[in-house]
Structure 1
Amino acid sequence: MKKIILITLLFIAVGNVFSQKKGEKVEPWLDNYDRMPFQQAKDGSILIQIKNTGTDVNDCIEKAKQQAVYAVIFTGYAEGNNIPAAAAISPNGASLYNEKLDFFKEFFTNTTLYRSYVPKAMLDPKNPVSEVGKKTIEAYVIVTVEITRLRKDLEKQNIIKSLSDFGFTPTVFVVPSDEWMSRNGYITKKDNQGTVDEIFNYPAAIIDPKISKALSAIESKYNKPNGPFKISDMKSRLDQIKTEEAKNNARSKAKQESSLDIFARVLAADLWVKVDIDDEPKDGMGNQMLVTLTGIDPYTNNKVITGTTIQKTTRGDDKFQLMINSINGASDELRTLIFGYFQEKVTTGIEGTLTLSLSENADFNFDTPFTQNGEEKELNRIIAKIVKKFANEREETIATETTRVFTAKIPLFFEEDGEKEKNSFKYFAEKIVDELKKIGITSTIEPSGLGRVEIFITGKK
């Protein structure tokens, strides 16, 4: 058995030797090296510590520049030195390298290209150079990489995708988290016919000095010219929110929307980013900052993206800078997760709920036959077919004598008059109402939140 194993290993070794061309060597940026974040900079840059080997110090430093840039683009790095982990800026990871092999070989061999994103590289004075073999040394090099500029340039050259490549720029709404709101007294409870409604006082919470600077920091991080997102601003919509709340209070209890539904509908963002900040000292430490960012789907109010809790600790007094460092790390991590989330949404669509209700005045029910395209069918079968026609996916979740409820995923876009438009559940309902008109049924639409809409079937023509 041992002989067989030895022979097998010998064939593998010989095969590897013959598969490698004479004089061929591993590209420096693909050679073995260790990486970890060393320090976060203020201008969209990161200092990365690279541990590698080379023939001399200059060789190690030059290779470290290539390796740090390669890591930022294709692999990201793990958490270290109180700096959060960061994903690669390539949404496809290292597979992009082989996909664009000619481009990246030129990029990493042309010193005017990769070096333009490395303003500084130096030996780490705390880790001395050591000999590890004949004519081989091991060194720790601190490399500064301009991540933001690198990402933008690769996007401009269509090497990596930006969210705009999907045909739209997502709108993001940044607010305090439910946990922060509760801790600071911005959620009140109201009895609604035996159920308890939570009322979120966002207008007051977003100007609270304990979190307002953090919200502004995230907005400025994302909402830059030609940036990946648009920021939905609540302050400019306060009057509209008050008007909608007044209309809501005038409705019957059964038809009232929650405060969250009103905010979601008025602000109409594609994603809510909720921010939790805890800056109380823990376990006798100095200033500590815990920042957690989560992504909430406003259509369903479900948590769809969970960022890592970013923890920063310092003995100094500059809490503002501590907060900015935490926000920068959390925002960079969440940005990559948001990209993946919307990349999936383009394929699967947006999820929500459609309710069809029969009016008390209707002289028919869901079992009543109607004629569609010359064929007589029960109304519930006709409705199910119509919903399926306009939805990517759909499932009937409730069926009663007077109600049909569907959960559905509808396309993110629709085309009208040759133009590509953002879709909505209201538009989805309008298409269904148009189809119902063709079989002689009259109905009205009442939105009950961004991802919920109700169609009231009122009668026959």
Structure 2
Amino acid sequence: MKKNITFTLGIILFSISIGFSQAKKPTLMVVPSDVWCNQNGYMTTYDNQGSITNVPDYKRAFQENAEVLQVISQINGLMSERGFPLKNMESAIKTLESNAAEDNMRTSKDSGSEVNESPIDALKKTAKADIIIQLTWTVNKTGPKKSISFNLQGLDAYTDKQVATAVGTGEPSFSAETSVLLSEAVLAHMDNFTETLQTHFDDMFENGREIIVRIQTWDDWDGDLETEYGDEGEELGYIIENWLDDNTVKGRYNTTDMTESMALFEQVRMPLFNDKGRAIDARRFVKELSDYLKSPPFSIPNKLVMKGLGRATIILGGK
């Protein structure tokens, strides 16, 4: 009897350990921060619908500054040792360049307009990382000794909300290797940092990924969000809310604003995986709502537009 109890307890403990070992980790990508890129002259500009915007020039930073690759590789190694899968930023940039070449040849079938997308949004979409880790570092010199001050910021790739942070300064050293100094400085903070990242991802896994959904209407559409459908004559705005009730994780979302011509839903918690266990993003999730509205009895033509990874807009009344 005692042997059976011991054997059963062993099986339970083994099962628990297997469960923890298979716990899904967030996918990360480490990038030099905007502050570091600006301080070191690695910035470029792009035309954001008529407004000139400054953004980091990551490609030039990698090509011209060997320290960037060394420092990011060092942080990648520390994260990898703790079981966190990482996206390689250099590889993501190369893929981005290939996609950009295709986009430059693509124009709208109606107006001839070119694809308009923020370089940062394009990089996030290419990398498909759950969390972007922005890294800022400064080399401090005191006589022959050097030390490193650093700032690690874990940002949710969909909302840009800061979900983890680590700040500190390492011990002075005669070492000339910036990457080694950084590793020594960060090491004491890394476990707390990764635990906070994992807590955030566990919350997403259980309660859904947070996105924003906006509903707008074309000005030539003869309907609006107060148009009634079905035998019960329910208004379209409430119909959309009912869909969100049924399809968000635990029915979690906020109706921030609702008028006859627009609706704004924030803190919309979409599932990370579909019924088949496949990962989905905001575009695929909101496309289901788009298709639902295109189907009878609504039969509303609409256009789905994405801004970044976590903001989706459905424009009702046409493509």
Normalising to structure 2: TM-score of the pair? Answer: 0.80
Partner of 1:228: 83
What is the deviation of 1:427? Answer: 2.1
Aligned ranges 1:239-278 → 2 under 5 Å: 239-242=94-97, 244-245=99-100, 247=103, 256-278=116-138
Residue identity (%) = 23
1:296 paired with 2:155, answer yes
Whether 2:209 is the aligned partner of 1:350: answer yes
Residues 59-108 of structure 1, C-alpha deviation per residue, up to 9 Å, x if partnerless?
xxxxxxxxxxxxxxxxxxxxxxxxxxxxxxxxxxxxxxxxxxx9xxxxxx
Higher relative contact order (CA 8 A, sep 6+): 2
Instruction: Write the letter of the residue equivalent to 1:264.
Output: K
Structure-1 separation of matches of 2:318 and 2:133: 42
2:22 is aligned to 164
Change beyond 3 A, Cα 1:306–1:376: same
Q: CA, structure 1 residues 426+177, in 2 after alignment: closer, same or farther (shift >3 Å)?
A: same
**Counterpart Cα distance in 2 of 1:255 and 1:361:** 24
> Does 1:422 pair with 2:279?
yes
Structure 1 residues 317, 443: CA separation in 2 closer, same or farther (over 3 Å shift)?
Answer: closer
Question: Quick one: distance in 2 between partners of 1:327 and 1:156?
Answer: 33
1:5-20 matches, cutoff 5 A? none
Larger Rg: 1
- Contiguous gaps of at least 5 residues in structure 2: 1-5, 7-12
Unmatched tracts of structure 1, length 5 or more: 1-101, 103-154
**Structure 1: how far apart are the matches of 2:48 and 2:176?**
46
Report the number of matched residues.
Answer: 299
Q: Verify: 1:322 aligned to 2:177, yes or no.
A: no
CA contact (8 A) 1:164 1:228 kept: no
Q: Which amino acid aligns with 1:454?
A: T
**Change beyond 3 A, Cα 1:285–1:355:** farther
1:359 maps to which residue?
218
Shift of 1:306: 1.2
| Conserved? CA contact 1:176–1:206, under 8 Å | no
SS in structure 1 at match of 2:159: coil
**Structure 2 vs 1, CA of residues 198 and 397 (structure 1 numbering), >3 Å: closer, same or farther?**
farther
Question: Is the contact made by 2:166 and 2:189 (CA closer than 8 Å) also made in structure 1?
Answer: yes
Q: How does 1:427-438 map to 2 (within 5 A)?
A: 427-436=284-293, 437-438=295-296
User: Which of 17, 22, 29 is the aligned partner of 1:173?
Assistant: 29
Q: Deviations over 1:160-203 (max 9, x none)?
A: 974732xx332111111121111112223456467452322122
Q: How far off is 1:307 after superposition?
A: 1.3
* Partners of 2:217 and 2:262 within 8 A in 1: yes
Select 2:227's aligned residue among 368, 378, 388: 368
Task: Output the CA distance in 2 between the equivalents of 1:369 and 1:390.
Answer: 22
Which residue is equivalent to 1:86?
none
Over 3 Å counting, the alpha-carbon distance change for 1:162 and 1:178 in structure 2 is farther
Give the aligned partner of residue 287 of structure 1.
146
Residues 1:447 and 2:303 are matched in the alignment: no
1:190-209 mapped onto 2 (5 Å cutoff): 190=46, 192=48, 195-207=51-63, 208-209=65-66
> CA 1:258/1:397 → structure 2, altered by over 3 Å: closer, same or farther?
farther
The residue correspondences of 1:51-70 to structure 2 (distance < 5 A) are none
- Change beyond 3 A, Cα 1:216–1:344: same
For the aligned residue pairs, the C-alpha RMSD in angstroms reads 3.3
Q: Hey, what's the Cα distance between the residues in 1 that align with 2:176 and 2:95?
A: 41
Distance verdict in 2 for CA 1:285–1:157, change over 3 Å: farther
Q: Output one character per residue of 1:317-346: Cα deviation in whole Å (capped at 9) or x when no partner.
A: 454432332243343332222122222222
Q: 1:320 to 1:428 in 2, by over 3 A?
A: closer
